[in-house]
Chain A
Amino acid sequence: MIILLQVLPVALRAMVPVTLCAVGEITGERAGVVNIGLEGIMTLSAFAAAIGSWATGNPWIGALCGMGAGAIVGLLHGFISVYLRGDQIISGVGINLLGMGAVGFGTWALWGAKSPMLDKKFWIPEVPGLGISPFVLMTPLLVVLTWWLLHRTALGLRIRAVGENPVAADVVGVPVEGVRLLAVVFGGALGGLAGAFLSLDWLHTVSPTLPAGRGFIALANVVFSKLNPFLALLGGFLFGYFDALAIQLASVAGFGGGIPYQFVRMIPYIATLAVVALAIGRARFPKALGQPYRRE
């Protein structure tokens, strides 16, 4: 029983990347653009954040560098999907491969064969007095902000309109391409923030496989959430909880259980699959999701 509560701090941390990525992706999908390159975005932006923090000595500037890197990749994906009308899935796959390749090369060039540990002075400090990561507080705030953006503002109305029926938006003068691009860049920036969290706050390292599949879990979380940011927060917390539990169990199992470590580490992923399998089917996705817009 104790273990179920003990893992809570880790669970809250593990919630962050899966939630931030999902909420960003929800924004893009509401506008009609799928970006399956979240894994790659996090990999790249974790690296960019670490470099930024290391170069400036200020971890917050590092986090901004991570966000900027995510936004730039979002811009690239948005440009390919929206303006070049390319296949969004292929572009997303490309981003994932780019993330692995570029960061693999970058770490090798800077540090040689082994992944570096970031020195403590480059870490994002904990919130004084509370002893928790500022990202854990920021995540729910960003969830509320995104929900408000999507469902209360004029821009949100336009984002949802271009994802559902771009013709209708175009006819009343909403710039379909611009709104879509903006939504994808916003999604990329949130993914970038998630990447910065990975390197500067949680794992304190960079590597080509740093997100360990969390970008894909975030995609599952998007389906689970039915594009509702609040449900994405819940989904993110559920995954984070299983993740933390697995980390804890693995350390225990390593001592006596005889259950292989890798097997226990599968728990969060299998739990995610199960949750998505139960939740899927009732989700209603935007009608124009994945379809480039061309005026006749």
Chain B
Amino acid sequence: MADNALLEARGIAKVYPDGTVALRGVDLVVRPGEVHGLLGENGAGKTTLTKIISGLLPPTSGEIRWRGKRVRFSSPREALRAGIGMVHQHFALVGPFTGLENIALGEEGGGALSPVHVASVRRRVEAIMRESGLEAPLDVPVEDLPVGVQQRVEILKMLYREVDLLILDEPTAVLTPQEAEELFSVLRGLAAQGRSVIFITHKLAEVTAVTDRVTVLRRGEVVATRETPGSTAEELARLMVGEELPPPRARAERAPGREVLRLEGFTVPGPAGKPAVQGVSFSVREGEILGIAGVQGNGQTELVEALVGLRPWSGHAELLGKDLAGRGPGEIASLGLAHIPEDRHGMGLILEFNLAENAILGRLRPFLDPLGRLRWGKVYRFARELISRFSIQAPGPRVPVRYLSGGNQQRLVVGRELSKAPKLLIANQPTRGLDVAATRYIRDLLLRLRDEGMAILLVSADLDEVLELSDRVAVMYRGTFAGVLSREEFDRERIGLLMGGVREAG
């Protein structure tokens, strides 16, 4: 065994009940007092590995040593007792509970029937906040807090339990660049105290920014473990992806054309009477990508759903001069709007249907004969055409889309939407959860469509994506636009501040 290991995982394999092989014999060694990066593409197995370490999933085979002793956690409770705590990508918080109640849950300071020891819990949490530099309000229901703050409550919850190994699963996905910086300094502080952190990411810059060592996972296997100082981003990228990708498409110089979409004072009601989108005005023109940046949950979802006709709204909106008021989703689509939804499973695809059936969702008419029956020959021909045009890896048009990878499912959604020959494309988080190759494909495609003159509204919580693709960027914060910047004005730091609600003077 490796000496000086806090955690040592050997030969961890995981086969999910549905037969997916997520891990194929993974080794991971975490030393005391280090921030250990776990780098890998979407689907590489990072989450699965850490769920096994934290007792949420049993491994199919392999063994784990904790402080030198062989352990087999059968529940998160046992792992937590031993000193391993994990902050999940989807937070494990009780929405209506306050921060204090969430932190105290399970460690209330007395017997089951005794009252929660609010005062002593509070005293301890406040001490932890001072020591770690993590601040969060303790008396507000966490569901009313911004996600970045909810994350702090989650971390505090683990620190309250005095974990020696803190696992964070893609923590920066919900943070502004400044919040991410703050998190990094908290993690460095923990490491300085001798605690260890497993920091999961698929972003190279974050690995170099915080980690001491990094383990790179690819398709369920460890391809390398390195000391971070001395590793270059290029090298890590190559290890992570396993192939050289062609350079990204260069954007053509292009003056935008006529206005395609125009909104004025666009307001969408949200839960509890508060508007989710409040008086937003903007336009999107031909041959331009308007990017909407912002931490998720600031009204982006509601804005898009209202635009495509799925939510009531007020104000003014027109597509190619036609008023959108009072029109339903079908009618709006027929005016020339296509939509890549953020949730391809809930909204974009019907997983039980096969590829061909999904390919014609929302556009049956061209495939009907005069009696209203589907012309299956034509449907399959069309599906095969999509498969080849959008390089969808699939055994054929009859495969249920459930069996396609995320990247291929997304290619299908995009292909279907583009076959409607839209004037405006709304792409909501189009690359979320995709691997690097599929992400590159979708981004290049969006740029090509823009060069060819399509108007594109891109919504993404990934700031790098927005900055790479957009001609102009609007930052959304609490349902309003905190600023609209043109390409010359792009500046990560400034946009990061706007994402966090810092208003520009004037």
What is the interface of chain A, defined by CB distance below 8 A to chain B? 149, 152-155, 157-158, 160-161, 164-165, 167-175, 284, 287, 295-296
The contact sample of 6 A-B pairs, CB cut-off 8 A, is A161-B97, A165-B92, A170-B77, A172-B105, A173-B80, A174-B106
Q: Is the CB of A172 within 8 A of B80?
A: yes
Q: Is the CB of B106 within 8 A of A153?
A: no
Q: Which residue of A lies closest to B91 (CB)?
A: A168
A17, B391: Cα distance in complex, Å: 66
Residues from chain A with a CB closer than 8 A to the CB of B97 are 157, 160-161, 164
A30, B101: Cα distance in complex, Å: 16
Q: Residues of B within 8 Å of A, CB-based: how many?
A: 34
Q: Is the CB of B76 within 8 A of A157?
A: no
Q: Is the CB of A153 within 8 A of B112?
A: yes
Q: Is the CB of B114 within 8 A of A153?
A: yes
Q: Is the CB of B114 within 8 A of A168?
A: no
Q: Which residue of A lies closest to B161 (CB)?
A: A172
- State whether A152 and B115 are in contact (beta carbons under 8 Å apart), knowing that A157-B108, A172-B80, A296-B51 are contacts in the complex: yes
Q: Is the CB of B77 within 8 A of A154?
A: no
A161, B107: Cα distance in complex, Å: 13
* Residue B387 is within 8 A (CB to CB) of chain A in the complex: no
- State whether A154 and B76 are in contact (beta carbons under 8 Å apart), knowing that A169-B106, A171-B86 are contacts in the complex: no
A149, B116: Cα distance in complex, Å: 11
- Interface residues as binary, B146-182 with A (CB distance below 8 Å gives 1, 0 otherwise): 0000000000010001000000000000000000000
Residues from chain A with a CB closer than 8 A to the CB of B114 are 153-154
Residues from chain B with a CB closer than 8 A to the CB of A170 are 75-77, 92
Q: Is the CB of B102 within 8 A of A168?
A: yes
A174, B161: Cα distance in complex, Å: 14
- Interface residues as binary, B14-47 with A (CB distance below 8 Å gives 1, 0 otherwise): 0000000000000000000000000000000000
A161 contact from B56, B91, B105, Cβ within 8 A: B105
Residues from chain A with a CB closer than 8 A to the CB of B57 are 295-296
A21 vs chain B, min Cβ distance (A): 23
* Residue B104 is within 8 A (CB to CB) of chain A in the complex: yes
Q: Is the CB of B116 within 8 A of A157?
A: yes
- State whether A154 and B80 are in contact (beta carbons under 8 Å apart), knowing that A165-B95, A171-B88, A295-B56 are contacts in the complex: no
* Residue B81 is within 8 A (CB to CB) of chain A in the complex: yes
A132 vs chain B, min Cβ distance (A): 30
Q: Which of B56, B86, B94, B115 has the most C-beta atoms of chain A within 10 angstroms of its own C-beta? A: B94
Closest 7 CB pairs of A and B: A173-B77, A154-B108, A172-B106, A168-B92, A155-B112, A171-B92, A171-B76
Q: Is the CB of B105 within 8 A of A168?
A: yes
Known: A154-B116, A158-B106. 20 other contacts (CB 8 A): A153-B112, A154-B108, A154-B114, A157-B108, A158-B105, A160-B96, A161-B105, A164-B95, A168-B91, A168-B92, A168-B93, A168-B94, A168-B105, A171-B80, A171-B86, A171-B92, A172-B92, A172-B157, A173-B76, A175-B77
Q: Is the interface of B mostly helix, strand, loop or mixed?
A: loop
- State whether A174 and B116 are in contact (beta carbons under 8 Å apart), knowing that A164-B96, A168-B94, A295-B56 are contacts in the complex: no
B113 contact from A153, A164, A168, A284, Cβ within 8 A: A153
Residues from chain A with a CB closer than 8 A to the CB of B86 are 171
Interface residues of B in 38-76 (CB under 8 A from A): 51, 56-57, 75-76
Residues from chain B with a CB closer than 8 A to the CB of A165 are 92-95
Residues from chain A with a CB closer than 8 A to the CB of B107 are 172
Q: Which residue of B lies closest to A173 (CB)?
A: B77
Residues from chain A with a CB closer than 8 A to the CB of B88 are 167, 171
Residues from chain A with a CB closer than 8 A to the CB of B102 are 168
Q: Which residue of A lies closest to B51 (CB)?
A: A296
A227, B92: Cα distance in complex, Å: 23
Q: Which residue of A lies closest to B90 (CB)?
A: A167
Residues from chain B with a CB closer than 8 A to the CB of A157 are 97, 101, 104-105, 108, 116
Q: Which residue of B lies closest to A162 (CB)?
A: B94
B100 vs chain A, min Cβ distance (A): 11
* Residue B110 is within 8 A (CB to CB) of chain A in the complex: yes
B71 vs chain A, min Cβ distance (A): 16
* Residue B111 is within 8 A (CB to CB) of chain A in the complex: yes
Residues from chain A with a CB closer than 8 A to the CB of B113 are 149, 153-155
A153, B110: Cα distance in complex, Å: 9
Q: Which residue of A lies closest to B93 (CB)?
A: A168
A152, B114: Cα distance in complex, Å: 8
- State whether A154 and B92 are in contact (beta carbons under 8 Å apart), knowing that A170-B75, A296-B57 are contacts in the complex: no
A174, B112: Cα distance in complex, Å: 11
Residues from chain B with a CB closer than 8 A to the CB of A161 are 94, 97, 105
